[in-house]
Structure 1
Amino acid sequence: MSAPTLTFLGASGTVTGSKYLLTIGETRLLVDAGMFQGEKQWRNRNREPFPVDPASIDAILLTHAHADHSSYLPALVKHGFSGPIYATEASIRLAEIVLRDSGKLQEQATDDAVRGGWSKHDNPEALYTTADVEATLPLFRAVEWNTNIDVEGVAWARWARSAHILGSASIHVEAGPYSVLFSGDLGRHDHPILRDRETPEGADVVLCESTYGDREHPEPEVAHEIFADAIRRTIDRGGQVVVPAFAIDRTETVLHALVQMRREGRIPDVPVVVDGPMSLAALDVYRDSHDELHDDITVADFTGLNLTETRRGAESRKLNRRRDPMIIISSSGMAEGGRVL
């Protein structure tokens, strides 16, 4: 067979919008389908015509559910893609949350543009709608860990844990004598909640995430003491600690750290609030996914606190009137939008 070809359709020149087109003979496989995020020059690329006809893509392989890897899926479906989307079960559950949130945001942004009259288009349209999201969800197909999946009769694909977020994976694809490994986003070797990152099978070509390749993480004990000290000082003066946290994985790891610090008596026993429906929906998935967590992790490792969950907007707005010391965990993680503002 002729050698497969690999085309970078995203995450090139920027770290978002991950999309890799793997062409094997006449078969087209797409690995990840993320939206471009960040500066306007990158966000505008989401509106550009897709380089190939989405209807010509035979299948999609998903490394994980973060928006920069998954939230372009409904746009592909809107324009004709109808094949299977392979992902781990946990990734599918999280992707459902991410895509529905994204579809709602797309519609809201379009409505705001129409009402405000600031769009340069006479009839602005959403990149995709919630209806496109609902058309996407039935296309997902769950895969087992470390199990070869026959993809369109032209390749075998295998998912190995990458410990980035729940369900995240590196994907090894083998087509005849050729092989390629997509690392996906890689987590730490010692994630506090998730099962350990695995070493996937080697390949002829490796596409490896390098976003934080020049960074060194501080040891968790040191980082957590800085956090604990900030909490103690703020609570001592009657203040409230607001923690911007990504809705998926970061909220859970922050809760886990708070539980550990509270058990050790390093922070006072004050109310802890998780503010945001998306964060809480993801937390529900983590609580249910015992097989994906370390054996010693229990529900109490997320909830062993004076915990309040604000799932409705009215509950969130009540927080604005409270003046008692507390810790509020809210998204977005970059404090660029969402309830944290």
Structure 2
Amino acid sequence: MATLSFWGGVGTVTGSKYLVESGRSRVLVDCGLFQGLRELRERNWDEPPFDAKSLDAVVITHAHVDHTGYLPRVVALGFDGPVYCSRGTADLLKLLLPDSARLQEEEADYRNRHNLTRHRPALPLYTDTDARATLKLIHVCPNTGEPTEVAEGVKASFRVAGHILGSSLVLLELDGAGTDGKGRRVLFSGDLGHYHQPIIRDPVEPPACDYLLVESTYGDRLHEAEDPKTALARVINEAAQRGGPLLIPSFAVGRTQELLYYIRELEDERRIPILPV
């Protein structure tokens, strides 16, 4: 018999944490920070609804902080088991987790210097030491569908999800998890990309499963069909003709690299003027 608990990524789009308990094994799928509104960020300071020391493993779908940024906190609370992810995710975590820790430390320092805390002293959610300790727990798995035993009676396999570098569909195979005593297959989509992106591989066809957990951040809307490269060219040309700067807010991992790629292509195609970026 297996159970699945949702401790984030529900009712909001951040803080993804899904606890799978099967037999004697407890596996956490994703371990993200709550982000956005203050009342969401404050949830990061709540005691986690699971005992960090009791987890057998953590499995990560992709490196974005709303799926991984709580990992150092769990490590600080006593988790010392393996963290399984793809090679691309592991490489990004080497950059993102220490950077997240630096931001936590800088925020605590700012609050202390400006007396903006109810606590004396204000402490970071976790430190660079916690982030470095987390990186030592990472185990790389192939992103091609081969299963890896991540805990007793639990196998995980990773397949390309097309969201960012290393992003994966994660299939958990749980031995004897059904009420009939047979195994069950649970698929976690993580964040999904779309087809024909310039620098990320297309998502693969998902494997057969008994249960599917799928992201739905944009599930309630239809996007316009305009080619993003054409739209970008139009905006850049409008800004250039006005003689003003163009500021493009963008996620640091994934979207920024795609924008830079498009800008270089548009310059090479002479569809936009060559401007400093």
TM-score normalised per structure 2 = 0.94
What secondary structure, in the 3-state scheme, does the structure 2 residue paired with 1:252 have?
A: helix
What secondary structure, in the 3-state scheme, does the structure 2 residue paired with 1:110 have?
A: helix
> Is the CA contact 2:25–2:154 (under 8 Å) kept in the aligned structure 1?
no
Structure 2: how far apart are the matches of 1:166 and 1:254?
15
Correspondent of 2:251 among 238, 246, 254: 246
Partner of 1:259: 264
Shift of 1:123: 2.5
Partner of 1:271: 276
Is residue 215 of structure 1 aligned with residue 221 of structure 2? yes
Shift of 1:195: 1.2
What secondary structure, in the 3-state scheme, does the structure 1 residue paired with 2:111 have?
A: helix
Partner of 2:105: 107
Is residue 182 of structure 1 aligned with residue 181 of structure 2? no
Shift of 1:236: 2.6
Structure 2: how far apart are the matches of 1:229 and 1:183?
34
Partner of 1:193: 199
Shift of 1:32: 0.2
Structure 1: how far apart are the matches of 2:68 and 2:20?
17
What secondary structure, in the 3-state scheme, does the structure 2 residue paired with 1:243 have?
A: coil
Shift of 1:220: 5.1
Correspondent of 2:240 among 231, 235, 246: 235
Partner of 1:119: 117
Shift of 1:263: 2.1
What secondary structure, in the 3-state scheme, does the structure 1 residue paired with 2:199 have?
A: coil
One-letter amino acid of the counterpart of residue 194, structure 2: R
Per-residue CA deviation, residues 202-222 of structure 1 (Å, 9 max, x unaligned), is: 21111100110123333353x
> Is the CA contact 2:24–2:152 (under 8 Å) kept in the aligned structure 1?
no
Per-residue CA deviation, residues 4-24 of structure 1 (Å, 9 max, x unaligned), is: 100001111111100000001
Partner of 2:4: 6
Shift of 1:124: 1.9
Runs of at least 5 residues in structure 2 that lack an aligned partner in the other structure? 176-182
One-letter amino acid of the counterpart of residue 183, structure 1: S
- More deviation, 78-87/244-253: 244-253
One-letter amino acid of the counterpart of residue 172, structure 1: L
Shift of 1:133: 0.5
Partner of 2:166: 167
Q: Any residues of structure 2 matched to 1:254-333 within 5 Å, and which? A: 254-272=259-277
Is residue 31 of structure 1 aligned with residue 36 of structure 2? no
Is residue 48 of structure 1 aligned with residue 46 of structure 2? yes
Count of aligned pairs:
269
TM-score normalised per structure 1 = 0.76
Correspondent of 2:86 among 70, 85, 88: 88
Structure 2: how far apart are the matches of 1:13 and 1:133?
28
- More deviation, 9-18/114-123: 114-123
Shift of 1:48: 0.5
What secondary structure, in the 3-state scheme, does the structure 1 residue paired with 2:136 have?
A: helix
Partner of 2:180: none
One-letter amino acid of the counterpart of residue 173, structure 1: L
Shift of 1:179: 1.4
Structure 2: how far apart are the matches of 1:97 and 1:229?
33
Structure 2: how far apart are the matches of 1:246 and 1:38?
14
One-letter amino acid of the counterpart of residue 131, structure 1: T
Structure 1: how far apart are the matches of 2:25 and 2:152?
9
Per-residue CA deviation, residues 173-213 of structure 1 (Å, 9 max, x unaligned), is: 01121111101000012222111101121211111001101
One-letter amino acid of the counterpart of residue 56, structure 1: S
One-letter amino acid of the counterpart of residue 147, structure 2: N
Shift of 1:115: 1.1
Partner of 2:148: 149
Partner of 1:299: none
> Is the CA contact 1:172–1:200 (under 8 Å) kept in the aligned structure 2?
no
Shift of 1:237: 3.3
Structure 1: how far apart are the matches of 2:258 and 2:226?
11
What secondary structure, in the 3-state scheme, does the structure 2 residue paired with 1:241 have?
A: coil
Structure 2: how far apart are the matches of 1:234 and 1:40?
34
- More deviation, 68-77/202-211: 202-211
Runs of at least 5 residues in structure 1 that lack an aligned partner in the other structure? 273-341
Shift of 1:153: 2.7
What secondary structure, in the 3-state scheme, does the structure 1 residue paired with 2:118 have?
A: coil
- More deviation, 223-232/22-31: 223-232
Correspondent of 1:136 among 119, 122, 134: 134
Structure 2: how far apart are the matches of 1:215 and 1:51?
32
